[in-house]
Structure 1
Amino acid sequence: MLDTTKQAVRRIALVGAPNCGKTALFNALTGSRQKVGNYAGVTVERKKGVALTPGGRSLEIVDLPGTYSLRARSPDEEITRDVVLDRRPADTPDLLLAVADATNLRSAFRLVCELVQTGKPLVLVLNMIDIARHRGIEIETDALSRQLGIPVVAACAVRRAQMADLWQLLDQLSETHTFAKRENNWSEPSATQLRNLQREADRLIAQAVRYPEKPDNLTTRIDSVLLHPVAGLLVLLTVLFLMFQAVFDWAQPPMDLITSGFDTIGTLIQHLLGPGLVESFLVDGAIAGVGSVVSFLPQILIMFLFILLLEDLGYMARAAFLMDRIMGGVGLHGRAFIPLLSSFACAIPGIMAARVIDNRRDRMTTILVAPLMTCSARIPIYTLIIAAFIPAHRVAGFLSLQGLVMFGLYAVGIVSALGVSLVAKLIFWRNQPAPPFMLELPDYKLPRLKNVLIALMTRVKMFLHRAGTTIFTMTVVIWFLATFPMAPANATQPAIFYSFAAMIGHLIEPLLAPIGFTWQMSVALVPGMAAREVVVAALGTVYSIQGGADAALQVGHVLASQWTLPTALSFLAWYIFAPQCTSTLAVIKREAGGARWMWLSFGYMLALAYVASFIVYHIALAV
């Protein structure tokens, strides 16, 4: 008699290899009913959402980090292994959905065979079935189900019509469902066991999958260009160059619109309240501070849009493969390219993405240099200074001079990261040989608008939450320091010169005077440790109080009139290398397993920032 157990499914975990369409399936199941956090005790990203079945039942969906095996060679894969094997009781799922790319089943089936060995309730989802059928690949789902002893369903996460079978199955599983009991036969696979698993995967493919005689060669033809050692690099540089041009050209109209909106709100508040502390707090503090940061949201979204499109297209893995030869020469693994490119958006997910690198030497080097990538928090600072001091001219009739300068700042960050990784290789890893670089290249796929929009909206919420919490809090602190104590009645200078902010600024100024920083700049650097964007908010608050209501949200014009060009260039040089925000430093500590690497990162970046600013400032003075 078959041993069975009855269980109502309430929590489902998605398991699959990277680039199998797992995230697209998660988005299709949960829509906007999802949230992103971290697993308890670790900084591994945790994506959870709620799926409402056609029958009206609610299911919790957990998107586990991508993995090729339960051997868990990286921190990301350890989380997936522990959840699958019930080593994290708070996250134990009732059912595993093994997601496989229907166009690339060989590696997927090896993972499925491992999951079968665990004895957990399991369903295999053959995702991207539409692409497989278009290529002439025939998959006998019934034969696979019999061979594996689990339900198998075909689906396409980006087409609603091809999700019907999966939704029907989930509706059935959300009721009390009978599962065949299977023993847990999984153990840490040895090399021999892995070969046996791969042979079992090949056997399944031979029995249940039919491939066309003439395979699709479009991917091969595209790769012949994009992976070419010369043409491929030119394409990559062109893509990055266009991204930075777009950050300036495309974002300017919505930025102007946001700035005008905050200007209007500030003017209304001034007319309604009249001069006073409340008016100063709202206009000079909240609006001048938070508004000056929120106005840069379009540029940050454009940066994220490019990264998301490149990921969905399947180009990221090609770029990593292409960069391996260059990065390997300075001690960086080819897989480090994706974490480093992610760091252009924010260093925190970039550092966390280094978990996909299983070799500790390469992972630690990547973590060490990821903060040198120009994160989106630097964009408001760069844009503020560039717009104030670099004319909006065209080069060769179509290139933005401001965009070229922005590209140059990014390039300096990239080159410095390569230089630091080389130094780290010579100092820390001199006697450790680099492991071979192996990477699976996914098929090219057109990005889906829904998935891109969901990802963009998630980042908008995160940015606005940051603006409404950390940045607003620091802005209030700066406003208070810049307002109190009040100026005496017979004051001969603007009120801010008598404030706590001026006292703090003048105290720090002697340390920063050799690099051309004013006391106002010194004030802005301190809260900027909480978040880079706060620097712009702090300057906006300080100068709006110093210059009166007309200076609110017009920080760039004020800086252009009060800073010299050497000072502006020194400020830019500082923020190419300046130590990261406190959140990033905390993540470095957790990911590296101790404070030593965090302090090393903080110290070398602080030293680089000061030296670079000193050199740039004095060269600019001499010229």
Structure 2
Amino acid sequence: MSERHPPRRLALVGNPNCGKTTLFNALTGLRQKVGNYPGVTVEKKEGRFTVGHQDIVVIDLPGIYSLAARSLDEQITRDVILGRQADTPPPEALLAIVDASNLERNLYLVTQVMELGRPVWLALNMMDVADAKGLTFDLDRLSQSLGVPVVPIVASQGTGLDTLRQRLAGPLPDVPARQWRLPQVIEAEVAALTDLLRANQWTESVAAEGEAIRLLLNDVAEDEPLPPPIRGAVEAARARLEAMGIEWWAAEAEGRYGWIQTVCQAAIHQPAAFQRTTSDRIDAVVTHRWWGPALFAGLMLFVFQSIFTWAQVPMDAIDRGVSQLATIARQVLPDGELTDLIADGILAGVGAVVTFVPQILILTFFIALLEDTGYMARAAFIMDRLMRRVGLSGKSFIPLLGSFACAIPGIMATRTIENAKDRLATILIAPLMSCSARLPVYALMIGAFFPAEQRLWGIVSTAGVMLFAMYALGIVAALTVGWLFKKTLIRGASPPLIMELPPYRVPSLRTVLLTTGSAAGQFLYRAGTVILAISIVLWFLATYPKQVALSRDYAAERAAAAAAVQAGQLSEAEAAERQQRLEALEKAERREKSFIGRAGQLIEPVLAPLGFNWKIGVGIISAFAAREVFVGALAIVYGIGDEEDASGNRALHAALQADRHPDGRPVFSPLVAVSVMVFFVLAMQCMSTLAVARRETNSWRWPAVMFAYMTTLAYFGSLLVYQGGRWLGFGN
């Protein structure tokens, strides 16, 4: 029986939009681990697959265009490959992925990767798109010219993956040699610098030549902590080249692309006449000056309508399941504090939030679907005109769009923005985009006061329109604040948008489902950790102290009701109704005089102008740890878990609708619901986002600015909505 071979570490390298992540998912499936590289917020994705007796660990590196390391993504990619990244062993080999329909442009990065001293395979992806363009490849000639094995694949369809797996598990190919050349005088300077790097052990010997080219012919050396001898040698070499009238900064691109063009002309046959592809025909509509934005708005409205329409059945099922768990807990467990904690604290708080998982799944599914089709790049192009009017570029729109799922990866995605001021401005406004954590708050308010059955003009659901309005408000607020920042604190012009529009492709259902499942898993993890802990604390604060002075002797009144039945003065039904009303009044008064009730009443005068009472105030304060906690906090404060027959959020809807001020006015109304939602659209209520902003900006100054301006904006935004609505006659 053959022994298993030691695991082989393999790194995936490629341009954005080349299908690298799709290939990673296809190779590794569910055997993935996601985290961050030590000390930075760049996502670290590793997976594993097995071929025969060979286990292969795959590292999915960030999508980049160059190893010149101007951005954090490029630095991480180079450092991981060269073994400079802490806690990340260097890969034994590299798999370069390219878009076969744009091979000439993709090979620029590949030529750099081939100079890092590692064995390299080349995966020629999207062969179906290349075929549609009429491109044919001489694969043997391409492999011979490049000096690396070439494997054609279609990752989204699984075509060629078996062959690729066998190649990756087989013998390692030879380390490729550099085959493109620079002018002779520059080659001499590169050779001298290569010897110096080896002498100083600055990098591995096999990667020294590629590192010498990078340092000498790119301006990245100016920002790197180089030893004095190396920095001095680079500066002296550049001075000599400039003295001879040689533009060293253009030499690398000219040399690489000149050689790449020769290779592609020999190995690729393309039609003599330009063929208008399906992508070109679709883009004529999708990126149109007027039709493009209208289509984008229509797609977003459809998504928000679907969130309420399609999610209702599974939400009701989860609702009933949580309610049944609470009932079972009370039936099985003995009466006491532990049972109350489980039923009224944990299940009421966590269960109220978990109910919204179907809506988050639908939102994430659609975003992943649009991204995998290639539409998201078009969305950035469409929005570039609008973004430039507020001082940003279309590149800022992609991180902002990602913030719809969560502001944390949205802020991390700003690393692709080269302009430092644009990047900072985008970080500061990213939390204004309505993330999935806000969705439970919107869904609760809309579900209680804007039922899905209500229709505008008999066609569009009022609930969908309200949800669309909240997301639109976040976008408008972000663009407005971004414009103000670029005119005041962060002045500076934005560079023009230069980006590739990838061809449209059939989305990989596997990739979309993995992305959707990952988002649901992260949400449930928060529900099982942060929200669980906060729910327990809130239950304690809402339950104690037990001994409080009540305004009435509720026990005596209940006894009197029972006596009235014996005397024939009340029917049993009337007495039972009175008993229930007295119990509800007593529980409400005890909560009002609990620790959490006293804290809420302390801040109520500040929140009253917004239409909020102390219970809403408790929810807002609790939500600073995580926005979705607001729903669980209200469930605990309103005692939803106390009712054994309560049906989760339906019971919470009823409690909100029935709540009254001491003078009889309803606490909640459609106007108050809108005021609450506006507050959550604009408020900075996520400590994790502030922590990531601090790490990305390397300062607490900008997170403090973010927290201050968003909290102020939320307060005065809600104030304007509530007081303006009252003035216009829309109720309390």
TM bucket (normalised to shorter chain) is: over 0.9
Once residues 445 and 483 of structure 1 are traced to their aligned partners in structure 2, the CA distance between those partners, rounded to angstroms, is 56
Number of aligned residue pairs: 613
Q: Which residue number in structure 2 is paired with residue 4 of structure 1?
A: none
Q: Secondary structure at the match of 2:53?
A: coil
> 324-333 or 479-488: which moved more?
479-488
CA distance in 2, matches of 1:137, 1:314: 21
Equivalent residue, structure 2, for 1:162? 160
Alignment of 1:330-341 (within 5 A): 330-341=390-401
How far, CA to CA, are the matches of 2:143 and 2:642 in structure 1?
Answer: 73
Code of the aligned partner of 2:468: F
How is 1:149-188 mapped onto 2 (pairs within 5 angstroms)? 149-173=147-171, 179=175, 184-186=208-210, 187-188=213-214
**Of 69, 77, 92, the match for 2:74:** 77
1:398 aligns with 2:396: no
Q: One-letter code of the match for 2:63?
A: G
Bigger mean CA offset, 228-237 vs 144-153: 144-153
Unaligned stretches of 5+ residues in structure 1: 1-6
How do residues 186-225 of structure 1 correspond to structure 2 at under 5 angstroms? 186=210, 187-188=213-214, 189=218, 190-214=249-273, 215-225=275-285
Is residue 484 from structure 1 mapped to residue 588 from structure 2 by the alignment? no
Q: 1:296 offset after TM fit, Å?
A: 0.6
Q: Do the aligned partners of 1:343 and 1:374 also contact (CA within 8 Å) in 2?
A: yes
Shift of the alpha carbon at 1:153?
1.8
- The alpha-carbon deviation at position 482 of structure 1 amounts to 0.8
CA distance in 1, matches of 2:494, 2:392: 9
One-letter amino acid matched to 1:564? F
* Structure 2 partner of 1:130: 128
Q: Which one-letter code corresponds to 2:57 in the other structure?
A: E
Question: Could you tell me the TM-score, scaled by structure 1's length?
Answer: 0.94
* Structure 1 letter corresponding to 2:149: P
Q: CA deviation at 1:179?
A: 4.8
What residue in structure 1 maps to residue 534 of structure 2? 474
- Secondary structure of the corresponding residue to residue 117 of structure 1: coil
Q: Which residue of 1 aligns with 2:510?
A: 450
Alpha-carbon distance change, 547 to 8 in structure 1, aligned in 2, over 3 angstroms: closer
Does 1:87 pair with 2:84?
A: yes
Q: Which moved more, 1:385-394 or 1:600-609?
A: 385-394
CA–CA separation in structure 1 for the residues paired with 2:344 and 2:135: 64
Match of 1:107 in 2: 105
What is the one-letter code of the residue matched to 2:704?
Answer: W
* 1:103 aligned counterpart, secondary structure: helix
**Is contact 2:400–2:430 with CA below 8 Å preserved after alignment?**
yes
CA RMSD of aligned residues (A): 2.0
**What is the match of residue 591 of structure 2?**
496
Partner SS for 1:36: strand
Given candidates 349, 352, 361, the residue that maps to 1:289 is 349
Q: Which has the larger radius of gyration?
A: 2
In structure 1, give the amino acid aligned to 2:102.
N
Trace 1:312-323 onto structure 2 (pairs within 5 A): 312-323=372-383
TM-superposed CA distance for 1:203, in Å, is: 1.6
Query: Could you say what secondary structure the match of 1:502 adopts?
Result: helix
1:350-389 alignment to 2 at 5 Å?
350-389=410-449
Counterpart check, 1:461 vs 2:521: yes
Q: Separation in 2 of the partners of 1:444 and 1:601?
A: 37
Letter in 1 for 2:254: R
Superposition pairs of residues 546-565 of structure 1, within 5 angstroms = 548-549=643-644, 553=648, 554-562=651-659, 563-565=667-669
Please give the secondary structure, in 2, of the residue aligned with 1:535.
helix
Equivalent residue number for residue 410 of structure 1: 471
Residues in 1 aligned to 2:646 and 2:714: alpha-carbon distance in whole angstroms: 29
**2:482 corresponds to which of 418, 421, 427:** 421
Query: Whole-Å Cα distance in 1 between the matches of residues 654 and 475 of structure 2?
Result: 30
The TM-score, its normalising length taken from structure 2, stands at 0.81
Matched-pair identity in %: 45
Residue 33 of structure 1 corresponds to 31
1:177–1:415 CA distance, 2 compared to 1 (3 A): closer
What letter is aligned with 1:543? Y
Which residue does 2:623 correspond to in 1? Answer: 528
Q: Which one-letter code corresponds to 1:149 in the other structure?
A: G
> What residue number does 1:509 align with?
604
For 1:56 and 1:158, the matched residues in 2 are separated by 26
Paired residue for 1:139? 137
Contact 2:56 2:169 in 1 (8 A): no
1:304 matched to 2:371 = no
Is the CA contact (8 Å cut-off) linking 1:486 and 1:498 kept in structure 2? no
Which amino acid letter does the alignment assign opposite residue 364 of structure 1?
L
1:526 Cα deviation from its structure 2 partner = 2.0
Aligned-partner Cα distance in 1 for 2:464–2:334: 40
The answer (yes or no) to whether the contact 2:149–2:173 under 8 Å persists in 1 is no
Q: SS at the partner of 2:160?
A: helix
Q: Distance in 1 between matches of 2:641 and 2:49?
A: 53
Deviations 1:394-432 (A, max 9, x none): 1232210111111111111111111101100110233x2
Separation of aligned partners in 2, 1:180 and 1:539: 63
Most deviating of 247-256 and 158-167: 158-167
User: Does the CA contact (< 8 Å) of 1:496 and 1:545 recur in 2?
Assistant: no
1:3 alignment partner in structure 2: none
Q: Counterpart in 1 of 2:245?
A: none
Q: Secondary structure at the match of 1:529?
A: coil
Q: Distance in 2 between matches of 1:280 and 1:450?
A: 42
Counterpart position of 1:227? 287
Residue identity opposite 1:90 in structure 2: D
Structure 2 unaligned regions, length at least 5: 178-205, 219-248, 553-585, 660-666
Query: Could you tell which deviates more after superposition, 338-347 or 62-71?
Result: 338-347
In 2, the alpha carbon distance for the partners of 1:397 and 1:274 equals 52
Structure 1 residue 506: Cα displacement: 1.9
